[in-house]
Amino acid sequence: MFRYDVFKGNRWAMVPATFALAVIVACGGAATPAAEPEQAAPTAPQAMTGQQAAPTEAAAQSAGSAAATAPPQQAQVAPTAVPAVTEAAPQSMTIEPAGKITMGQEEINIFSGHPAHSVNPQLFVISTAPVVEGLMQWNSNLEAEPLLTESWSISDDFATWTFNIRKGVQFHKGYGEMTAEDVVYSYSHWITNTKHARASALQRFWDHPEGSVQIVDSHTLMVNTGDPMPDVIMSEFHRVPSGIASWVVSKKQSDEIGIDAADKDIAATGPWEIVEHRPAQYWRMKAVQDHWRKTPYFAELEFQEIPEQSTRLAGFQTGNLDTFVMAFDSIPLVQEMEGAKLMQVPDQAAGEMLLHFHGGLYFNVGTPDQEAAYDPDLPWVSSNTEIGSPEWEQAKKVRQAMVKAIDVQTIVETLLQGYARRSPVGVGGYSYSSHRFPDIPPLEYDLEGAKALMAETGYGDEGFNITLIPALRGAPAEVEVAEAIAVMWEDIGIDVKLQNLPYGTYRPTVIGRTFNGATNHATSPSNTPARLYNALQNRGSFVRHTHPFLDDITIRAQSAVTLEDRTRLETEVGKFMYDESIYASLYMWNAVWAVGPNIDDKSWSENLFYGDIRNINGYEWIEPRR
């Protein structure tokens, strides 16, 4: 019996060969995708080819999901068709990588590639190159597509998943072909990485007390999640690139040299292999020749950490950088450069800027487990956990005043140069599916209303103090937006202490639940609001606000297997958060990247990964300018 000691009992096991053969035979058949309630009729059965167009959520939960014809124990899990991964077109001759791309990052921190150790900001950056690859990616419709999987399927109770692992994928540094055993090994360590922003979700999927993980054969894997988990939730923490990414690494490497050594020289599967790095200075990577998906055009890729925007811009202007993380006020200067141009991702917002009030951790108030960040003396935190109590209403009005005081449209037009738009829904995670939530409005700027609320709460004359930190995630104008918010809050009598900290310094205070100020925090596109609910759950790792009401309803929303049920629960959560001014969404910005004179964006722009485009990705598709 094959198992990993890090998991309980025998839940991680090798399946007998006869069972494996039965599953393989079953996976060759046809299937009907699971229907959503509003679907007029089931989709016609299709053979598993991996080449069909991605279904919409109304037709199936997302690309890759399917109903099963029988429980998985009977080896009759029937997959539906999933879209093919975007791969390089057949080439008449082998690409011989040459030259070097140099990219200016705002922050890269310490290189860390092993699932047991990798955390943000480096977790996000390493997945953008990419040095690493996940089980799946998202397309421009925010639908999941295979990457290191060839296909996957789900049982009709939404609890058992079958992953068909891609054959022929080679690890870096000569560690051989990726197998299902490497996938199991990698996720046995992801679930122990408590600083990962989706640690609780990863544990729920891969290590549920009532679940199991079974290696069927060298390239087939079955996971029982114990409780239902819709694939719009599952796909978010199995995709790259992302700030909540996860990926597959070589088990053999860690067995041979140890986890700590492998962490700094990881053998993964991306088109770029790590070669050399210095903390907070640079990462140097080399192209992987004959990569399974796309051999890079350039031979070398270097990320340089350059915190100052002006220095990054100067490096681009002098030709020392080919591209860089760019503040939008630099756009006119880039446009003036001979040979330089801008690349925009068409019809796709790069991310969503949220406003978080920390300290409202109401889950364990009055118990020995009360969180350090909970301070009822803070004006935006209630001393009474009962929703609707006078103390609760007082704190709510303070938060409402602070939200109303923010002139989002002015921020969009000035600091973001118009390359953004006000969020159509004023709650974090809802704007990308705003058509499903017509009853939740955008935020409204109302300075006089904000002043009236401050007066009503007794803070109109004396105000109060608050710490505001811009969470540096690679989004444009993060610091400048925080500065603008600080000025707007000062207009209603609030004394703002602005702290510009590296993300690697700020993030542990959220993980440790010791920070109780406010942050403007950029997040990636969301295919459904429930995917962000881990930040509202006591079991989560990267948590800003908790309450027993939110804990219960958000967990139920993440387990809802029909679009109708999930929309109903998400609407209830969204209305509550809007009314309470808990999880405000300010604006959505566009992806605009600088392209230097030595590189071309033609193939690049057509082959991006859309799971998280807050930072540049797809370097393997960048061609030399001809």
How confident is the model over 138-180, as pLDDT tens digits?
A: 888 888 999 999 999 999 999 999 999 999 999 999 999 999 9
Q: Does domain 12-31+60-83+118-252 have CATH number 3.40.630.30?
A: no
**Closest of 424, 362, 381, 422 to residue 550, by C-alpha:** 362
Residue 614: pLDDT band by 50, 70, 90 thresholds?
confident
Helix (H, G, I), strand (E, B) or coil at 507: helix
Q: Decide which of 3.40.50.2300, 3.40.50.850, 3.40.190.10, 3.10.450.50 is the CATH code for 100-112+265-347+594-624.
A: 3.40.190.10
Q: Is the predicted pLDDT of residue 556 greater than 60, yes or no?
A: yes
Residue 619 has a pLDDT of 96
Average pLDDT score over residue span 435-451: 97
Q: Which residues contact 58 (CB under 8 A, 6 or more apart)?
A: 36, 38, 39, 563
Place of tokens 């890729």: 301
**CA–CA distance, 235 with 239 (Å, rounded to integer):** 6
- Distance (Å, whole) CA 68 – CA 32: 8
Query: Residue 334's pLDDT is what?
Result: 97
- Rounded mean pLDDT, 18-41: 35
Query: In this structure, is the dihedral angle defined by the CA atoms of residues 127, 345, 308 and 541, taken in order, positive or negative?
Result: negative
Is residue 30's pLDDT more than 70?
no
**pLDDT above 60 (res 53):** no
Report the alpha-carbon distance of residue 67 to residue 23 in Å, rounded: 15
Predicted pLDDT at 88: 42
DSSP 427: B
Q: How far apart are CA 186 and CA 248, in angstroms?
A: 5
Greater confidence (197 vs 86) lies with: 197
Average pLDDT value for residue range 195-215: 91
| 8 Å CB contact between 553 and 572 | yes
Higher pLDDT, 88 or 245: 245
Q: Each residue of 493-531: b (16+ CB within 10 Å) or e? A: bbebeeeeeebbebbebbbebebbbbbbbbbbbbbbbbb
Let me know the angle formed at the C-alpha of 426 by 124 and 498, rounded to the nearest 5 degrees: 60
Of 389, 364, 394, whose CA–CA distance to 377 is shortest? 394
Sign of CA dihedral 296, 302, 306, 312: negative
Position 273 pLDDT exceeds 70:
yes
> Domain extents for the chain?
12-31+60-83+118-252, 100-112+265-347+594-624, 349-589
3-state secondary structure of 24: helix
3-state secondary structure of 378: coil
For residue 474, is pLDDT > 80? no
Is-contact 431 585, C-beta < 8 A?
A: yes
Report the percent of the chain where pLDDT is more than 90. 67
Determine the distance from the C-alpha atom of residue 27 to the mean position of all C-alpha atoms in its chain, rounded to a whole number.
30
Burial of 366 (0-12, 13-18, 19+ CB in 10 A): exposed
In this prediction, residue 13 has a pLDDT band, given cuts at 50, 70 and 90, of low
Of 17-21, 178-182, 397-401, least confident by mean pLDDT is 17-21
Find out whether 193 and 123 touch, Cβ atoms under 8 Å.
no
Whole-Å CA distances, 203 to 35, 157, 550: 28, 19, 20
Please answer whether residues 23 and 216 qualify as being in contact, where contact means their C-beta atoms are separated by less than 8 angstroms: yes
Q: How do residues 289-344 score in pLDDT, each as one tens digit?
A: 999 999 999 999 999 999 999 999 999 999 999 999 998 989 999 999 999 999 98
**Structural contact between residues 19 and 26, judged by C-beta atoms closer than 8 angstroms:** no
| pLDDT over 60 (residue 17) | no
Neighbours of 95 (CB within 10 A): 16
Alpha-carbon distance 511 to 196, whole Å? 9
The top-scoring range by mean pLDDT among 13-17, 37-41, 59-63, 263-267 is 263-267
d(CA 498, CA 377): 20
Which among 513, 248, 503, 500 is positioned nearest to 375, based on CA atoms?
513
Q: What is the pLDDT of residues 563-599, one digit of tens each?
A: 999 999 999 999 999 999 999 999 999 989 999 999 9
Cα–Cα distance for residue pair 199/207, rounded to 1 Å: 11
- In the predicted model, what is the mean pLDDT of the chain? 85
Q: How many CB atoms lie within 10 A of CB 67?
A: 22
Q: Spelled out in words, what is the top-level CATH class assigned to the domain 349-589?
A: alpha beta
Q: What's residue 346's pLDDT?
A: 64
pLDDT given at position 348: 63
- In this structure, what token pair is assigned to residue 210? 């009532």
As a whole-number percent, the residues of the chain with pLDDT over 70 amount to: 85
pLDDT value at position 208? 93
Mean pLDDT on 382-388: 96
Name which residue leads in pLDDT, 568 or 81: 568
Point out which residues pair with 273 in neighbouring strands. Answer: 286
Q: How far is Cα 450 from Cα 11, in angstroms, rounded to an integer?
A: 55
- Poorest-confidence range of 27-31, 554-558, 585-589? 27-31
Please compute, for residue 135, the number of CA atoms within 13 A of its CA located in the half-sphere on the CB side. Answer: 26
Tell me the two tokens of residue 46.
């299709």
58-67, 482-491, 598-607: the lowest-pLDDT one: 58-67
Which pLDDT tens digit goes with each residue over 519-534?
999 988 888 999 889 8
Task: Enumerate helices (H) and strands (E) in the chain, giving the number of each.
Answer: 17, 22
Nearest to 473 by CA among 542, 393, 417: 542
- Bridge partner residues of 145 (DSSP): 137
